[in-house]
Chains A and B, each alone.
Chain A
Amino acid sequence: KNEVEQSPQNLTAQEGEFITINCSYSVGISALHWLQQHPGGGIVSLFMLSSGKKKHGRLIATINIQEKHSSLHITASHPRDSAVYICAVGRGNQFYFGTGTSLTVIP
């Protein structure tokens, strides 16, 4: 059983669409991270959340601790947003990763 589940696994959107990626986890956590992995393989940390909501440009991340659920939203999507988005949670000395959501934004 995976401690972290992401949905959808794959997502194709038209440029300009609003996108939501979901992450559910089964353990109590200290923090949740959203990562972006570019087609070239590099990994960038987008957000680190322990409660509430964070916004950076067109990206918004929310977390509901009681429901053990987080969402990553992309407003006005653009082809350069095409990447794999990975949810990860920290718990004690462990760090658990979701399997990622592969996003393709078509011009």
Chain B
Amino acid sequence: DAGVIQSPRHEVTEMGQEVTLRCKPISGHNSLFWYRQTMMRGLELLIYFNNNVPIDDSGMPEDRFSAKMPNASFSTLKIQPSEPRDSAVYFCASSLAGLVFTDTQYFGPGTRLTVL
């Protein structure tokens, strides 16, 4: 199995630009999570989906952030417009099934975003 796939691995952009991060979960997994990691705040849950439906987006910091999961094999996290404080590593993770946080999560390699 290829594991969770994220793209791009690195993204450098200028303030005000739109950024789209992509994630392909492990085939057959029903839950998908987006996390952000910064030095100041550590790991934070942004949003998660179960069976392609957003369940909780209370961690999404602002309206500038949006996430979609149009099908079971693809999700996007979009930031529009981007700001320097959005610079972080963004991780996607997936888990097989069942109650959302009682299953092992498999993490992607992360996307390192730098907003200048």
Which residues of A come within 8 Å of B, CB atoms? Answer: 30-31, 33, 35, 41-45, 48, 50, 86, 88, 90-91, 93-95, 97-100
B45 touches A94 (CB 8 A): yes
A44 touches B55 (CB 8 A): no
Q: Decide: A50 near B42, CB < 8 A? Known: A41-B110, A42-B107.
A: no
Give A97 to B105 CA distance when docked, in angstroms. Answer: 14
A90 touches B100 (CB 8 A): yes
Mostly, the A contact residues are strand
Note all chain A residues with C-beta closer than 8 A to B101: 30-31, 33, 90-91, 95
Give A40's nearest chain B residue, CB to CB: B109
The answer, among B45, B89, B103, B106, for a CB contact under 8 Å with A41, is B89
Give A97 to B110 CA distance when docked, in angstroms. Answer: 17
Which residues of B come within 8 Å of A, CB atoms? Answer: 33, 42-45, 55-56, 58, 89, 91, 93, 99-107, 109-110, 112
Note all chain A residues with C-beta closer than 8 A to B42: 86, 97-100
Least Cβ–Cβ distance between B71 and chain A, in angstroms = 23
The answer, among B56, B103, B109, for a CB contact under 8 Å with A94, is B56
Give A23 to B72 CA distance when docked, in angstroms. Answer: 34
The answer, among B43, B45, B99, B112, for a CB contact under 8 Å with A30, is B99
Least Cβ–Cβ distance between B55 and chain A, in angstroms = 6
A42 touches B105 (CB 8 A): no
